[in-house]
Structure 1
Amino acid sequence: MKYMLLIYMDENALSETEREHCYVESAQVAQDLHTQGQFVASAPLHPVATATSVRVREGKSLVTDGPFAETREQLGGFFLINAQDLDEAIAIAARIPGARAGTVEIRPVLEIARLPAY
């Protein structure tokens, strides 16, 4: 089963040096998962200030700068993985460096027929 691991943290929680170390450590986790056939995708995101939100209401698009909601922690990146079950996904999420400074939300991916494979 595929799981999306969403990494949330305060964008200012890490110094630039700590952030670079986090990227190196995250890349190693991704390499380990790839070796085990569990890696699908992973990427950090640019700061929330670069976000754009789109809402369509009554057939009209409303485009605004920034995220949809104000929160203390922002979505900072993700891992998309293959895991046998939730317990295995939890074990993988605990290895992600962002879990130490923020939160990793685990969501099973709903697989829908006729979507392109990834």
Structure 2
Amino acid sequence: MKYLLLICTDDSVTIDDPAELDAQAWVDEMDARGARLMGDRVRPAEDVTTVRVREGSLLLTDGPFADSKEHMAGFDVIDCADLDEAVEIASRHPMARFGMVEVWPFWTE
């Protein structure tokens, strides 16, 4: 089953050693397991544009939808047997210790 991992940072968390956020070892491990299909970092929240169309009018908002100290920093798409494996994979991501990782199952018919 495929899952989207939303890798979220928390600006209120103080990190003593920025090297602890380096996800390369996690990426290498998940690639070697064949679990990670793709992933990438995204630009900071100040570069986000939220798009809505209401009653035929285009509404643009600078920044993400939610005004929060937490915001998406990247994503990964993984393929694994079940939610338990997806949670295990997400829990190993460095950002799980300093921010959060949301595990979203893909829609299947």
Shift of 1:21: 4.6
Shift of 1:81: 0.4
Shift of 1:48: 0.6
Residue in structure 1 matching 2:31, options 34, 57, 61: 34
Counterpart position of 2:4: 4
Report which stretch shifted further, 36-45 or 7-16.
Answer: 7-16
Query: Quick check: 1:11–1:47 contact (8 Å CA) kept in 2?
Result: no
CA RMSD of aligned residues (A): 2.0
Report which stretch shifted further, 98-107 or 31-40.
Answer: 31-40
Query: Which consecutive segments of 4 or more residues in structure 1 shift more than 2 A?
Result: 11-17
Counterpart position of 1:75: 72
Sequence identity (%) = 39
Counterpart position of 1:115: none
User: How many matched pairs?
Assistant: 109
Residue in structure 1 matching 2:50, options 44, 53, 63: 53
Query: Quick check: 2:3–2:78 contact (8 Å CA) kept in 1?
Result: yes
TM-score (norm 2): 0.86
Gaps of 5+ in 2: none
Query: Quick check: 1:11–1:76 contact (8 Å CA) kept in 2?
Result: no
The structure that is strand-richer by fraction is 2
Residue in structure 2 matching 1:104, options 96, 101, 106: 101
Letter of the 1:63 partner, please give it: L
Gaps of 5+ in 1: 113-118
